[in-house]
Amino acid sequence: MEHSITFPISEELYRPMQGIKETLTKLFAKKFSCQIEVKGPKYLALPGAQGSKLVYEKKMPGGFRVSTWKGDLTMQDVDAVVNAANDQLEHIGGLALALANAGGPVVEEESRRHIEKNGKVKTGSIAVTSAGNLPCSWIIHAVGPKWVDYKHSQCESELKEVITSILRHVNKDSRITSVAIPAVSSGIFGFPLTLCANILVQAIENFSSQVKCDHLQEIRLVNNDDKTVEAMRAACEKILGRSQNWSQGIAQAANNQAAAPPYLSPSLSINGLNLFLKKGNIEEQSTNIIVNSTSSSLDLHQGQISNAILNKAGPELQHEIRKYLPYPPTGSMLPTLGYRLPCQFVYHTILPFYSEWFKGDPKQILNMLILQCLTQAANIPSQGQRSISFPTLGTGALGFPIKTVAEIMIHTFLQFAYNYPTMLDVYFVIHPKDEAYYKVFQDTVQTIQKSNNIRVSAEEPRETSSQDEKICIIIRGNSSDVQEAETFLTQNILVPESIHIQNNHIFLLGKKEHRSLSSLHFSQAEISEVLSNGKASLEIKGSQKDLASAAVQVEMMLLDAQEEHAEKLEDELFESAVQWMYEGRKQMDCFPGRDNRKIEEAYMSKSNTELSISGKQMSFDFINLTVKAAGTTYRLYRECHLARDYIPRAHKGGKTVAPLFLLDLVNPSTKEFKDRAKEFMKANLELVKMVKIQNKVLSAVYQSIKSDNKGLQVYKRVPSDFCKLIARVGFNRLYMGSGDAEYEGCICFNKQLDEVLEDPTGTKGLVCIFQAEVAPGTLSETWNMLPTPLASDVFSLYDSYMDSIKDPKKVVIFDGHRANPQYWFICKWKGSKV
């Protein structure tokens, strides 16, 4: 059941949180499977001062947005602003003087030092200084040409050169994710305004098509007079196409048919919502969200639409959706990131077959899922108009009649539009080959348009309350996930003085990340690294708004490093359980790591396929077990150490066999949960969440190590950041908790639950505990010796240590695969509100 929590925040904190909302959204989606929204009055969400007006917006093929604003350049909440400067960087008039006055003495001083060191700034070139008291971090001083009629070709070339220099610098500096540019040279330098606008926008268009700039999010064209703003808007419309910021307010959107994109007009436009019928492929849609239909097995290879989405998104999409296993019920909507798709998110829906025997009404479930998708789409963080694309849900193998689907989808849109006025563009995307389907949707819309009364619900439209104007952060998701996210937000981000991030993944950060940490990339926060007792931590100091911004970006950096490391460990683990080989010229050759796992995932789908293996295209025939590469066919071999009933098959008895890794949430109403809750209560803990771990690869590797030895049931407390990783790849020295400090390089477990809490890291927040089975192997009872796997006899090797072989309380192991995680418990301290 979806749950939400709201946190009031200050206006001072609201602006920087808005500036990093895309990173914040990705962080909470990946870390907690939660959605997060930074909410407040509309005018505060706009860049610049109150009263700034957005007149154009377009998402470019390169992924960044181009927008045109009427507003004050000195008030832009971007990373860098461009100053139209002279060659001596003398800020004596116009925009240059306004920026220097707002930025304070540091702007003048750094400009003076730059000229002393480097001399005049050549026309067509730039100089960069810090921004002083401005909301941005840097000023890019651009020296454009002075217009001379008889040198018009030279002037045009120099203006193009200076804009290109600005964009080249933005591309080079990953700290600049947004830049605001005025109409350079069009003021006292006398450059013709229309020509200036066209050259500026054409340079941006060339940059978008020729340069890959992953970090750039927005190029903002900002001027404060109507004539210049209109010239910039007209140039954007002419060169880049019609604006995608199709509506500026609910009242305007309700009646403004010009709100459509250039190639399409809305079929219905009600209360700020626009419905478009469109021919196309769902995986090509560049809306905020696209909707997918999949089965409860969450195998995205199954189904034409699902497979097309997976192929474009990449394997990361399949990997992320597995977190919702095992078998989410029919009627579930599961959000994931979009990865390589042109959208932000994918909403995966689980529909029933359209048949008489289904317990429940398939039409009602379809209606409910569409409403749920629309509701969440209307609440995602987004600049400009939010948008979502639906395919013709259920019309494939699920057997929904196309006329029924058309009526449900369109009437559900109307139901939502009347009851929840908001700003949202909704696309129903019909495959280009399905002409008949498109005609059915058209006819259904026309019938509604001709009707005198198209209201589908007696419920009155929702009024906007004063609550909607409050400045706050809202977290939505599963109840226990929201609790974890709440703890993280309050203890790691919304902290007034300093933030301490302890995470051993800091060890994994490379030179690039450490350079970024030591730079001004994280606003004005001061970040220092601390290594102590085998653990790494970062301390962040600064104002609360700088702390919050820096903490989010640091956590995202660590999460990326964590994921990369986990995938490497997962590949190595998988090789221990399943190995694909081919018959080479002289011997059997193995497919390594990631390639081995990619082949196994394709094999699980039981469909012949072409795969890119180590950069080469290969054709796999899993029926005849052959692979063809560069015109040569090789025999394939699969060595599997998994138990016989774990061998993956596409279908068994009409049901898809479960994948190799499952997290089974134990229902709190069951006896199993209640019994464990009583046990934890004795340790002063309230059980919040109990997860049964079914990792078939880990179990197979563990069983091979355990052999015939008897395993021990043990507990281990783990930092919450590492819990999902342990469920995926097992215990690892990098994921040690505070209880491992005295056993450097080892992993320590406790036999009794209460002993796990002897060294609690504070009494606030959630407590994460694993129950595991440990295979001690060859033991040493010499507890006081240095914890290394060598005894006094250097020829005797030990697998583990115990404090007592007869009645052990502690077990220390050296190889993480000697422990098999079975349950993951999330608890809170008795009486705690967390």
What's the CATH number where 98 sits?
3.40.220.10
Instruction: Please indicate, yes or no, whether residues 310 and 414 belong to a single structural domain of this protein.
Output: yes
Within a domain: residue 504? Answer: no
My answer on whether 74 and 19 are in the same domain is: no
Q: What pLDDT does 800 receive?
A: 75
- Which residue numbers in the chain have pLDDT < 50? 43, 45-51, 245-263, 356-359, 452-468, 520-523, 645, 647-658, 759-762, 782-796
Q: What is the DSSP string of 30-72?
A: HHHS-EEEEE--HHHHSSSSTT-EEEEEEE-TTS-EEEEEES-
Do 677 and 795 lie in one domain? The reply is yes
Same domain, 617 and 682: no
pLDDT at 517 (0 to 100): 64
Instruction: Round to whole Å and give the CA distance between 724 and 770.
Output: 11
**Domain residues for 712?**
661-829
pLDDT for res 648 = 46
Is 508 a domain residue? no
Has residue 372 been placed in a domain?
A: yes
- Per-residue pLDDT, 48: 42
- Do residues 677 and 817 share a domain? yes
The pLDDT of residue 253 is: 29
The set of residues, in sequence order, having a beta carbon less than 8 Å from that of 453 and lying 6+ positions away, is none
Q: Provide the total of helices (H) and of strands (E) in the chain, helices listed first.
A: 22, 35
pLDDT computed for residue 500 by the predictor = 82
Domain membership of residue 317 (yes or no) is: yes
Strand 65-70 relative to strand 80-84: parallel, antiparallel, unpaired?
Answer: unpaired
In this structure, are 208 and 75 located in the same domain? yes
Let me know if residue 527 belongs to a domain: yes
Q: Locate tokens 């959605």: which residue?
A: 35
**Alpha-carbon gap, residue 643 to 704, rounded angstroms:** 11
Alpha helices, H only, 622-747: 671-681, 696-706, 723-729
Q: Are residues 319 and 436 in the same domain?
A: yes
* Residue where one domain finishes, among candidates 634, 657, 680: 657
Do 92 and 241 fall within a single domain?
yes
Asked if residue 462 is part of any domain, the answer here is no
Q: Tokens for 178, please give them.
A: 């947004």
Whether residue 799 lies inside any domain: the answer is yes
What pTM, to 2 d.p., does this model score?
0.51
Same domain, yes or no, for 279 and 212? no
Check whether residue 64 and residue 168 sit in a common domain: yes
3-state secondary structure 775-802: CCCCEECCCCCCCCCECCCCCCECCEEE
Helix ranges (H only) for 521-612 are 544-577, 593-604
482 and 613 belong to one structural domain: no
CATH number, domain at 675?
3.90.228.10
User: What is the domain-level CATH number for residue 569?
Assistant: 3.30.720.50
- CA distance linking residue 322 with residue 320, whole number of Å: 5
Please say which residue of 439, 462, 494 terminates a domain. 494
Same domain? 183 vs 204: yes
Residue 635 inside a domain? The answer is: yes
The domain boundary residue, chosen from 638, 657, 676: 657
Measure the CA–CA gap between 318 and 95, rounded to whole angstroms. 50
- Overall domain count for the chain: 5
